[in-house]
C-alpha cells in the first residue's frame, strides 16, 4: 500500500490523481490533502479519502472547513506552514505536487526534507529553484518522478540512461498555432482558454497558448535530466500523440506515445517502478493518421525565446521569468492586459533584473517578489 499526500487536490491534476487512487484503493491511500480555497470540494474529498490532514491556503477557508469536518477527526491546517505539514506528513510514502505556481515550491521542499519521493506536476518548482530542489533530493535520496506528460515521456525513454544526444520536447502549438503577431492583437480570454488537445487548469492553459508553458518545460527538463538547454529541441506536434522523444549518441530516437490523458503520466509516477492499469481511453494506433513535426515560431510566440534566454542567463533569471509570467497571466485572466502584453511584461521584468548567481532560497523568493512588484508598478496591474 502506497500512502500519498496530494497537494493541489482540487485542481485538474489533483482530481485526476484522486481518480486513480479511487480506482486502485488496494494499492493506494491518501494521507493528506492540500489546496487553495475550494472548501466544498475539499470536504467531499476528505470524507471520501479520509486523510489525516487537510490543509488550505487561507485561514478563512480553514475556519469554514473545520466547521464542515467537525464530526471527523481530520486535522485542518492553514497557511504555508499547514501546506508544508501536509506535504511532509510522516505517514506518506510519496507526495504529489500539483499546486500551481511558485506557491508549490515550499511544500515540495518540505516533503523532500522529510525523505518523501515526489511525483512532480508543479513545474514552477523546478523553474524557480531547480538547483536547490534537485540537490536536496540527491542529499535525501529522494526520487523526483515527473508528472508533466513530456517529462514523463522523456523519463520513460531514458529508462535510467544519461548518454543522450538530444531531447525532442513536443508542443501541441496551442490554440493560436499558425497565427502571426497581427492575428493575436485582439484575441480574447475565451480564445486563449480553448486548448486543442489537453484539458487543464486556467494558468497552464494560457501558458500553452503563449508557449510560455513550453518555455517553462525546457527549464524543467534541464533540471530533471541534467542537460543544458542547447540539448533540448522544441518540436511542434499538433496531434499530441508523441509525448516527447530522446535521441541517443548512436542515432536511435526513442519516443513515448499514448492518448492525451494525464492519468497515464500520473500513474507512471505513482506506480514507479511498476505499471498499473489506467481507466482512460487507450490510443487506437490505427486511427492516429499522420503525425507531423515542425519548428516553433519563436518570433510570434516570444515567451519560448524568453525562456531559453532566461535559462541561459541562469541564476535568478528563470525565477524572474516565472514570477513576471504568473503576474501577467493573472492580469490577463482578470481582463487587465492583452494577450500580447504577457511577453512584453515578462521581457520588461527580465531586462530590469540584476542576476544573482547561485541563489539561496531567500534570493529566489526575493527575485520572485521583485519581479512581481516591478510588473505591478510598471504595467499598472
Interface residues with ligand NAD (CB under 6 A) are 8-14, 35-36, 38, 57, 83, 98-100, 103, 121-124, 148, 198, 200-204, 262
Q: Give the residue carrying C-alpha cell 475556519.
A: 63
Distance CA 17, CA 354 (A): 39
Distance CA 127, CA 206 (A): 17
3-state secondary structure of 119: strand
Contacts of 33-36 spanning 24+ positions with Cβ under 8 A: 33/5, 33/6, 33/9, 33/86, 34/5, 34/6, 34/7, 34/8, 34/9, 34/82, 34/83, 34/86, 34/87, 34/99, 34/107, 35/7, 35/8, 35/9, 35/10, 35/11, 35/99, 36/10, 36/61, 36/99
Q: How far is the CB of 10 from ligand NAD (least distance, A)?
A: 4
For ligand NAD, the closer CB: 13 or 137? 13
For Mg ion, the closer CB: 124 or 150? 150
Q: How far is the CB of 206 from ligand NAD (least distance, A)?
A: 11
For ligand NAD, the closer CB: 148 or 327? 148
Q: With CB cut-offs between 5 and 8 Å by kind, which of Mg ion, ligand NAD, none does residue 13 bind?
A: ligand NAD
For Mg ion, the closer CB: 148 or 370? 148
State yes or no: residue 148 binds Mg ion (CB under 5 A).
Answer: yes
Q: With CB cut-offs between 5 and 8 Å by kind, which of ligand NAD, Mg ion, none does residue 103 bind?
A: ligand NAD
Q: Using CB under 5 A, which of the segments 147-155, 227-235, 257-265, 327-335 binds Mg ion?
A: 147-155
Q: How far is the CB of 259 from Mg ion (least distance, A)?
A: 15
Q: How far is the CB of 357 from ligand NAD (least distance, A)?
A: 26
For Mg ion, the closer CB: 117 or 150? 150
Q: With CB cut-offs between 5 and 8 Å by kind, which of ligand NAD, Mg ion, none does residue 372 bind?
A: none
Q: How far is the CB of 200 from Mg ion (least distance, A)?
A: 9
For Mg ion, the closer CB: 202 or 355? 202
- CA distances 120 to 107, 264, 270, 283, 327, Å, are 12, 14, 10, 24, 22
Q: With CB cut-offs between 5 and 8 Å by kind, which of ligand NAD, Mg ion, none does residue 297 bind?
A: none
Chain residue at closest Cβ approach to Mg ion = 148
Q: How far is the CB of 149 from Mg ion (least distance, A)?
A: 5
- CA distances 149 to 53, 63, 65, 218, 242, Å, are 28, 36, 33, 13, 10
Q: How far is the CB of 42 from ligand NAD (least distance, A)?
A: 9
Q: With CB cut-offs between 5 and 8 Å by kind, which of Mg ion, ligand NAD, none does residue 14 bind?
A: ligand NAD
Partners of 3 in the β-ladder: 29
Angle at CA 150, nearest 5°, toward 146 and 153?
75
Q: How far is the CB of 182 from ligand NAD (least distance, A)?
A: 29
For ligand NAD, the closer CB: 203 or 214? 203
233 phi/psi in degrees, rounded to 5: -115, 120
Distance CA 54, CA 57 (A): 10
DSSP per-residue string spanning 230-272: GGEEEEE-TT--EEEEEEETTS-EEEEE--S-THHHHHHHHHT
For ligand NAD, the closer CB: 14 or 323? 14
Q: Could you list the residues that contact Mg ion (CB under 5 A)?
A: 148-150
Amino acid at each position: 500500500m502506497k500512502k500519498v499526500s496530494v497537494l493541489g487536490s482540487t485542481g485538474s491534476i489533483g482530481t485526476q490523481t484522486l481518480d486513480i487512487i479511487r480506482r486502485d484503493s488496494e494499492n493506494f491511500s491518501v494521507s493528506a490533502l492540500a489546496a487553495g480555497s475550494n472548501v466544498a470540494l475539499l470536504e467531499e474529498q476528505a470524507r471520501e479519502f479520509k486523510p489525516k490532514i487537510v490543509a488550505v491556503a487561507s485561514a478563512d477557508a480553514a475556519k469554514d472547513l473545520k466547521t464542515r469536518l467537525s464530526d471527523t477527526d481530520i486535522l485542518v491546517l492553514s497557511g504555508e506552514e499547514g501546506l508544508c505539514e501536509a506535504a511532509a506528513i510522516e505517514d506518506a510514502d510519496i507526495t504529489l505536487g500539483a499546486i500551481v505556481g511558485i506557491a508549490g515550491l515550499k511544500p515540495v521542499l518540505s516533503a523532500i526534507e522529510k525523505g518523501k519521493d515526489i511525483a512532480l506536476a508543479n513545474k514552477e518548482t523546478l523553474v524557480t529553484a531547480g538547483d536547490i530542489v534537485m540537490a536536496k533530493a540527491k542529499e535525501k535520496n529522494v526520487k523526483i518522478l515527473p508528472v508533466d506528460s513530456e517529462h514523463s515521456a522523456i523519463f520513460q525513454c531514458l529508462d535510467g540512461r544519461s548518454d543522450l544526444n538530444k531531447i525532442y520536447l513536443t508542443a501541441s502549438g496551442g490554440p493560436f498555432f499558425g497565427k502571426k503577431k497581427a492575428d493575436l492583437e485582439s484575441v480574447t480570454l475565451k480564445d486563449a482558454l480553448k486548448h486543442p488537445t489537453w484539458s487543464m487548469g486556467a494558468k497552464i492553459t494560457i501558458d500553452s497558448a503563449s508557449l510560455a508553458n513550453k518555455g517553462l518545460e525546457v527549464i524543467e527538463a534541464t533540471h530533471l535530466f541534467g542537460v543544458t538547454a542547447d540539448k533540448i529541441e522544441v518540436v511542434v506536434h499538433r496531434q499530441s500523440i508523441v509525448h516527447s522523444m530522446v535521441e541517443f549518441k548512436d542515432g536511435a530516437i526513442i519516443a513515448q506515445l499514448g492518448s492525451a490523458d494525464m492519468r497515464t503520466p500520473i500513474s507512471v509516477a505513482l506506480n514507479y517502478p511498476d505499471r498499473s492499469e489506467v481507466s482512460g481511453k487507450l490510443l487506437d494506433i490505427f486511427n492516429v493518421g499522420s503525425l507531423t513535426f515542425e519548428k516553433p515560431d519563436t518570433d510570434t510566440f516570444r515567451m519560448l525565446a524568453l525562456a531559453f534566454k532566461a535559462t541561459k542567463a541562469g541564476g535568478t533569471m528563470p525565477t524572474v521569468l516565472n514570477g513576471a509570467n504568473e503576474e501577467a497571466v493573472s492580469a490577463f485572466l482578470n481582463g487587465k492586459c492583452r494577450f500580447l502584453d504577457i511577453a512584453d511584461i515578462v521581457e520588461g521584468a527580465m531586462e530590469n533584473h540584476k542576476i544573482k548567481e547561485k541563489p539561496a532560497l531567500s534570493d529566489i523568493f526575493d527575485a520572485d517578489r521583485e519581479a512581481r512588484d516591478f510588473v505591478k508598478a510598471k504595467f499598472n496591474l
